[in-house]
Amino acid sequence: MFGLLQFGHLTFDHNKLIHFLIKHKLLPNTMKCKKCGNDMNIDTETLMFKCRRRYYVKNVHKKRVAVRCFVDVSAKTGTWFSNSNLDVGTICRLVACFLMLQHPRQDRTQVETGIASPTTIVDWFNFCREVCVFWAEKNSEKLGGPGHTVEIDEAKIGKRKYNRGRLVKGQWIFGGYEQGSKKIFIVPVEDRTEKTLLAIIKEWILPGTTIVSDCWKSYDCLNNEGFQHLTVNHSYNFVDPDTGEKCSKVLIYIIIIKINN
């Protein structure tokens, strides 16, 4: 099994890293030349596809003349690494920091990656969050029931890279995490009012569930709606004072870390 620490070490070996990314389809190995249709192979050192093929075309006098392709295409085009001045190894180390650190910190990540700009780190962490939310939305399912505990929370999506799915920049999302089974749901929401959140809770969480949330006022109605409601104040602790059970912001554990701007 290939672990995150092994991946972190791999990011410092350019040749092995590129072959790893090609194997896992994060970088293409071949590409068609759009000019002549020739198959181009990746240059693993420069991460470029280059075509210098000689081929024949007809000129204005309908005579066949030889021409040569001069096509250069970055292997990063259309991939996770596109539109960035960072090298592939640095981006991979940044993603590794996102995955390994429960609460990613800019200063720690700057040390680990050598990235000087805090803005760059924030943007890439938001890109990573987007992928996690996209995955979570695609794998959402109904949670809970009597004897089951579900943690819920809401958060706002920040800067995005791919604009996938129904989520938009600056939109609220709402999610739940079932303790034990690790089942989840995440859905986009228009607002955080009681009416909106209660309708989603009833759609995604079965009656009789113990629901753990923060102290947001929209959740005050849950005890009267067929659920047992416990609260935890994240400003002061991450342990429910009544049950002693560890309670976290649900979206930290749904998508590795807390989603915020």
User: Same structural domain for residues 39 and 110?
Assistant: yes
User: Same structural domain for residues 29 and 122?
Assistant: yes
User: Same structural domain for residues 128 and 142?
Assistant: no
The answer to whether position 58 is within a domain reads yes
User: Same structural domain for residues 130 and 141?
Assistant: no
User: Same structural domain for residues 195 and 228?
Assistant: yes
In which domain, by residue range, is 122 found? 4-134
How many independent structural domains does the chain possess? 2
The answer to whether position 261 is within a domain reads no
Query: What letters, b where the CB count within 10 A reaches 16 and e where it falls short, cover 104-121?
Result: beeeebbebbebeeeebb
Write down which residue in 85, 119, 134 finishes a domain. 134
Greatest CA separation for the chain: 89
User: Same structural domain for residues 121 and 145?
Assistant: no
Closest CA to 133 of 197, 82, 187, 176: 187
Q: What pairing do the DSSP bridges indicate for beta strands 64-68 and 143-144?
A: unpaired
* pLDDT for residue 220: 93
* pLDDT for residue 154: 83
User: Same structural domain for residues 97 and 186?
Assistant: no
Q: Are the C-beta atoms of 91 and 124 separated by less than 8 Å? A: yes
The answer to whether position 259 is within a domain reads no
3-state secondary structure the chain: CCCHHHHHHHCCCHHHHHHHHHHCCCCCCEEECCCCCCEEEEECCCCEEEECCEEEEECCCCCEEEEECCEEEECCCCCCCCCCCCCHHHHHHHHHHHHHCCCCCHHHHHHHHCCCCHHHHHHHHHHHHHHHHHHHHHCCCCEECCCCEEEEEEEECCCCCCCCCCCCCCCEEEEEEECCCCCEEEEEECCCCHHHHHHHHHHHEECCCEEEECCCHHHCCHHHCCCEEEECCCCCCCECCCCCCECCCHHHHHCCCCCCC
Reported pTM: 0.67
* pLDDT for residue 232: 78
Write down which residue in 79, 100, 134 finishes a domain. 134
* pLDDT for residue 255: 43
User: Same structural domain for residues 130 and 140?
Assistant: no
* pLDDT for residue 147: 95
User: Same structural domain for residues 84 and 188?
Assistant: no
Write down which residue in 134, 163, 182 finishes a domain. 134
Query: In the structure encoding, which two tokens stand for residue 5, read together?
Result: 């620490």
pLDDT tens for each residue of the chain, 261 residues long: 567 788 888 999 999 999 999 999 999 999 999 988 899 999 999 999 999 998 877 777 778 888 889 999 999 999 999 989 999 999 999 988 887 755 557 788 888 888 989 889 988 888 887 787 778 888 899 999 999 999 998 877 655 555 554 454 567 888 898 988 878 898 888 888 999 999 999 999 999 999 999 888 999 999 999 999 998 765 544 444 444 444 444 454 444 333 333
Q: Are the C-beta atoms of 204 and 142 separated by less than 8 Å? A: yes
Query: In the structure encoding, which two tokens stand for residue 162, read together?
Result: 């791919």
